[in-house]
A and B are shown apart, each in its own frame.
Chain A
């Protein structure tokens, strides 16, 4: 260790012989530490460096709901996983090849996920008696031989960071906070990434705190130099650049992409955007992103509660702007009554539910898809509205625009489902040319001649009128209204007619959904039907099965209400339909009910995304003739 420290002190002293470089197809790295250790930052920075090297990547941040749990505790561990590869990447990977553990608690909570024979880089400086005890270790796992199945590198990241920063003038606490950059430096060096670009980024990021910026740069360099200077690592690794479609890219999380999609909808339609929202994990970042874009025609309103969030958006929509609200499960529950009002008013409105584990407060920072039935059915009365779901971070951009396309064309509230996984995860986004985006046409009625508030066009949509338009003054409300005038009506047959027409309007959107894309054979033994963020795991599981000679098809649904009109025919072309979902079978239930077919469920509700292997294993079982009636959940 002292040798390493000396190497750091003199700067980048090179080994005499070049280190051999091993080529890899893909790597899964997980950074884990205390929730205050900056692991999300390290992960993000590492992803960016990887992206710039031309890799495809996918990430999975996994953090506790406590902002900063007591240090060293098992429940305070925060993690960030990234997979990058020389091919297209759809998930953050099943099992880490490399675990960077900043303390014993992080090692303990994550060790069982690490690939057998995988690499563990442990911050040995944090493996003190005290923190070992907090993590519940009777003996130091780095010393007792219990990690025999792994390649373990003990590096005193805490101590070496302190040494590198001994002249920085920073407090002990601030020095401690630089160790994540040391870890980042280590990993960049190990994976053959250049340092200079990253240094610039650090200085930019900490522009307002130059002292901290320089300290972080020093820590980064020290970590980088450690790998170069010591004999500890026999090889460095290089992952070939992926064969990615040409274009300009940036790294984007799902929440960020959602926000950009809404701004695009506003710009493309020329209609201002209004977000009424109340902070809730994991949806709040959409509010943050839009709040910073007031130089567009964007208004953000942090309301007094979830109800006011949606109600203010309804008021804005009535005013003739693109009203929207963002939330997650419990907040969705609070918005229910107002959603019913929006259905009655027949105004455009978009509601984003960034789903999390439920019920009730549930698992605020963990991933689940259990609000599908709530989205489709969760209101009083016959209250249909369109529901769509995004399948990846970058798909959130397209879905945000699609949500408003449907909302304004059909004069209806639309629910967009994403989840905490894709909301927080980042992936490369191929930046579109705004001119290439689909136009979003919005027409406001201004002609008073023959105006009836609830007269409908061919799509059964009523017209949108901006208050301030002379001669079109009219009243709307939550009471049942006359089929034409919109005045209050309690007439029995009128109510039947209105209930029917609201249902027919939403059902009719199916005509406006493009033909369903089927990956794989157009008919055969096995079709996987998924929705939302299970996309990546299903794609990779199917690819593996196909590579082994199995014929498996995959349909991933964006439109969940109504379903695409060709879905029924597609389902009937396969002997078995497998539906993996992070709930207890909500899409399965909808498919059975709608198409009177059976489906095989694969359900997981552990707050974690599906592993590719979990879906792959089920595919293989079904291909090998395990009775399809047996619904087998994921048990691990």
Chain B
């Protein structure tokens, strides 16, 4: 019986008091991740959680694994070094919208460009929480915060679109309040080879409460969110009678049965499309005109960075043999003085 199989969620809880605000969406993410870990068949000591700075970056302190709470924005860079040095480890990055997209934007895009085997969880609450309420790169235009008393004039970007633009091979989105959906997405992220990016819509109860009400409120969420399923038409709505159709390059929301629209007119989701065009199109969807997609936008296979790096080393050893200090020192032009 291997030790990993016997693990439970409890084995991944630390003795530290969790210090997020009561009602914070981070609790739900932590619980789902702790539940997921024992199901992956990986020994506990082979997990490492790396974070930057921000509310969500306290995450590693609450995971009974190896972990580092590092500096603002740098978690993907630190995690990349760890993964390259120790490819056999399961390395997770927990970050936020400020950490990953503002101060750490560069490391974030380059990790995905390289397709290094990190699982990046971005808890997006569209606000700076730890510094008490300034707007972030995902805050909506016009949003009033302590640093934008007249409303934000910064245009937000979509983390999913950024990830796709950086060439990420696994891009997904879920939401803190839908535990079953989050569990499914996290599981798939864990199993992906290469960089897996998951945006998690997360409610900040203190500084941006209700940011995702439009897609989490039970009374309307079926009409405002689009659950992505590979190979299935883009259908949504309480009655499952709404869908997405393309007119030229423009997506439009349509109702089945109206104006002769049938299911065969709808766009069919394809996670594995070679190019990311469909995924990017979906990343632009937002309420109120279009439903917000949740699920896996894209998953394609590509060699991971660490595999290719191992390949370089193996190739070098095959060509030159395992390095030997004496011959290294004596290579090139030498001369002897007697």
- Give me the interface of A with B, judged by CB distance under 8 Å: 48, 51-52, 54, 201, 244-251, 260, 263-264, 267, 272, 274, 276, 293-299, 301, 303-305, 307-308, 311-321, 323, 337-338, 340-341, 345, 431-434, 466-479, 487-488
B85 → chain A, closest Cβ, in Å?
A: 4
B321 → chain A, closest Cβ, in Å?
A: 7
Chain B 298-324 against A: per-residue CB contact (8 Å), 1 yes, 0 no? 000000000001001101110111110
Q: What residues of B have a CB within 8 angstroms of the CB of A433 in the complex?
A: 326
A474: contacting residue among B66, B78, B107, CB under 8 A = B66
> Is the pair A338, B79 in contact by a Cβ cutoff of 8 Å?
no
Top 9 A-B pairs ranked by shortest CB distance?
A315-B81, A477-B69, A312-B81, A296-B323, A311-B77, A308-B77, A315-B82, A319-B85, A315-B78
Q: A250-B334, A304-B106, A314-B81 are in contact. Are A299 and B68 (CB under 8 A)?
A: no
Q: What residues of A have a CB within 8 angstroms of the CB of B335 in the complex?
A: 51-52, 54, 248-250
Q: A299-B84, A433-B326, A477-B68 are in contact. Are A247 and B336 (CB under 8 A)?
A: yes
Count chain B residues whose beta carbon lies closer than 8 angstroms to a beta carbon of A. Answer: 60
| CB-CB nearest in chain B for A431 | B329
> Is the pair A470, B45 in contact by a Cβ cutoff of 8 Å?
yes
Chain B 55-87 against A: per-residue CB contact (8 Å), 1 yes, 0 no? 000001101111111110010011111111110
> Is the pair A469, B312 in contact by a Cβ cutoff of 8 Å?
no
B113 → chain A, closest Cβ, in Å?
A: 9
Q: How far is the CA of A51 from the CA of B337 in the complex (A)?
A: 10
> Is the pair A313, B45 in contact by a Cβ cutoff of 8 Å?
no
Chain B 257-290 against A: per-residue CB contact (8 Å), 1 yes, 0 no? 0000000000000000000000000000000000
Q: What residues of A have a CB within 8 angstroms of the CB of B319 in the complex?
A: 295
Q: A318-B78, A468-B89 are in contact. Are A293 and B328 (CB under 8 A)?
A: yes
18 more contacts with CB within 8 A, not counting A52-B333, A315-B77, A323-B85, are: A246-B337, A249-B337, A263-B325, A272-B85, A296-B322, A307-B77, A307-B106, A311-B70, A311-B71, A311-B78, A315-B78, A316-B82, A318-B48, A341-B71, A470-B43, A475-B60, A475-B69, A477-B69
Instruction: Tell whether B188 is near chain A: CB-to-CB under 8 Å.
Output: no
> Is the pair A338, B74 in contact by a Cβ cutoff of 8 Å?
yes
Q: How far is the CA of A535 from the CA of B259 in the complex (A)?
A: 87
B83 → chain A, closest Cβ, in Å?
A: 8
Q: A293-B323, A311-B107 are in contact. Are A260 and B328 (CB under 8 A)?
A: yes
| CB-CB nearest in chain A for B66 | A467
> Is the pair B323, A308 in contact by a Cβ cutoff of 8 Å?
no
B321: contacting residue among A51, A295, A468, CB under 8 A = A295
> Is the pair B322, A295 in contact by a Cβ cutoff of 8 Å?
yes
Q: How far is the CA of A258 from the CA of B78 in the complex (A)?
A: 24
Instruction: Tell whether B221 is near chain A: CB-to-CB under 8 Å.
Output: no
> Is the pair B326, A250 in contact by a Cβ cutoff of 8 Å?
no
> Is the pair A434, B77 in contact by a Cβ cutoff of 8 Å?
no
> Is the pair A274, B45 in contact by a Cβ cutoff of 8 Å?
no
Q: Give 27 CB contacts A-B under 8 Å.
A: A48-B333, A51-B333, A51-B335, A244-B337, A245-B337, A263-B323, A293-B328, A294-B312, A295-B316, A297-B323, A303-B77, A307-B106, A308-B106, A308-B107, A308-B110, A311-B78, A311-B81, A311-B107, A315-B78, A318-B48, A321-B86, A431-B329, A469-B45, A470-B43, A470-B44, A473-B67, A478-B71
A320 → chain B, closest Cβ, in Å?
A: 7
> Is the pair A314, B45 in contact by a Cβ cutoff of 8 Å?
no
A477: contacting residue among B70, B309, B317, B336, CB under 8 A = B70
B4 → chain A, closest Cβ, in Å?
A: 11
> Is the pair B61, A488 in contact by a Cβ cutoff of 8 Å?
yes
Q: What residues of B have a CB within 8 angstroms of the CB of A313 in the complex?
A: 81
| CB-CB nearest in chain B for A244 | B337
| CB-CB nearest in chain B for A49 | B333
> Is the pair A307, B74 in contact by a Cβ cutoff of 8 Å?
yes
Q: A305-B106, A312-B77, A477-B68 are in contact. Are A248 and B84 (CB under 8 A)?
A: no
Q: How far is the CA of A476 from the CA of B48 in the complex (A)?
A: 11
> Is the pair B70, A341 in contact by a Cβ cutoff of 8 Å?
yes
Q: What residues of A have a CB within 8 angstroms of the CB of B79 in the complex?
A: 315
> Is the pair B69, A299 in contact by a Cβ cutoff of 8 Å?
no
| CB-CB nearest in chain B for A433 | B326
The A-contacting residues of B in range 23-77, CB under 8 angstroms, are 43-46, 48, 50, 53, 60-61, 63-71, 74, 77
B333 → chain A, closest Cβ, in Å?
A: 6
Q: How far is the CA of A488 from the CA of B60 in the complex (A)?
A: 12
Q: How far is the CA of A249 from the CA of B43 in the complex (A)?
A: 50
